Amino acid sequence: MPKFSVLIIEDEKNIQTFMEKILKRHDYRVICADNGTQGLELIRSQCPDIILLDLGLPDIDGDHVIQEVRTWTSTPIIVISARTAEKEKVASLDLGADDYITKPFGTSELLARIRASLRHSNRLRTDNTFYIRPYRHGEMILDFSKRRLTIHGSEIHLTPIEYKIVAYLAQNSGKVITYASILSNVWGPYADNDNKILRVNMANIRRKIEIDPAQPNYIFTEVGVGYRMAEDEEE
């Protein structure tokens, strides 16, 4: 099997080197760029499988890179940035980034986010059995073909709206999904931007699936941004 190629666009050399060493150790092929212009050239010439993008680049803003890349490719982009403001995370995701990691971050978190984005990207490309194969995490199984959710073998009864929310998050497991994206997917493109209806449904879902809704095992809140479902455990 050919190695997945990862393009790192990062001007801080110590962070670039740190990520490069980790990824090479885990059998990825790594390409590096020190600025946005060089990064865009490498995306066009090398066609990487995934892009790790710093927002605070010396020449052009990382959001501009996302915008430019999305005009011609759906290659997964994980934003890696020191910017912690919620509106900046949402802006990057709405422009087309697939995920967001805030510096500083750990090795396992980085690798998990890359795996999740690559897996989702390959599902979309191959259009194969993902929607037939159930989502599994711990004791939870979501069978898409039967629209059936079980935990410890017991069926959890969800309303149609609750099921649509859980299924959408499960199909994108491991990735942060913005409130706007969930509202649009579940309630349609003309959904009200008010998150209240989503928060009410999520509270009901958590009461049904979590032992302690305040300490969730399955669906996590990315404060001010959206929700992330625990990563699918592939067999």
pLDDT at residue 235 greater than cutoff 80: no
pLDDT at residue 27 greater than cutoff 60: yes
Q: pTM for this one?
A: 0.75
Residue labelled with tokens 């879902």: 205
Poorest-confidence range of 28-32, 66-70, 75-79, 123-127?
123-127
Instruction: Kindly state the average pLDDT of the residues 126-149.
Output: 78
pLDDT at residue 127 greater than cutoff 90: no
Poorest-confidence range of 6-20, 80-94, 121-135?
121-135
pLDDT band, residue 234 (cuts 50/70/90): low
pLDDT at residue 190 greater than cutoff 90: no
Q: Is 207 exposed, middle or buried (0-12, 13-18, 19+ CB in 10 A)?
A: exposed
pLDDT at residue 125 greater than cutoff 50: no
Poorest-confidence range of 6-20, 27-41, 90-104?
90-104
Instruction: Kindly state the average pLDDT of the residues 146-173.
Output: 92
pLDDT at residue 204 greater than cutoff 90: yes
Could you tell me what percent of the chain has a pLDDT over 90?
58
pLDDT at residue 126 greater than cutoff 80: no
Report which residue type is found at 219.
Answer: I
pLDDT at residue 139 greater than cutoff 50: yes
For 2, other C-beta atoms within 10 Å of its C-beta total 6
DSSP string, the chain: -PPPEEEEE-S-HHHHHHHHHHHHHTT-EEEEESSHHHHHHHHHHH--SEEEEES--SSS-HHHHHHHHTTT----EEEEES---HHHHHHHHHHT--EEEESS--HHHHHHHHHHHHHHHHHHHH--GGGTSPEEETTEEEETTTTEEEETTEEE---HHHHHHHHHHHHTTTSEEEHHHHHHHHH-TT--S-THHHHHHHHHHHHHH-SSTTS-SSEEEETTTEEEEPPP---
Strand partners of residue 51: 7, 77
Mention every residue, 6+ apart, whose C-beta is less than 8 A from residue 133.
Answer: none
Q: Is 138 exposed, middle or buried (0-12, 13-18, 19+ CB in 10 A)?
A: exposed
Instruction: Kindly state the average pLDDT of the residues 143-161.
Output: 91
Instruction: Kindly state the average pLDDT of the residues 190-201.
Output: 82
Domains of the chain: 5-126 (3.40.50.2300), 129-229 (1.10.10.10)
Average pLDDT, the chain: 88
Instruction: Give dist(CA 82, CA 13) in Å, integer.
Output: 15
Could you tell me what percent of the chain has a pLDDT over 70?
92
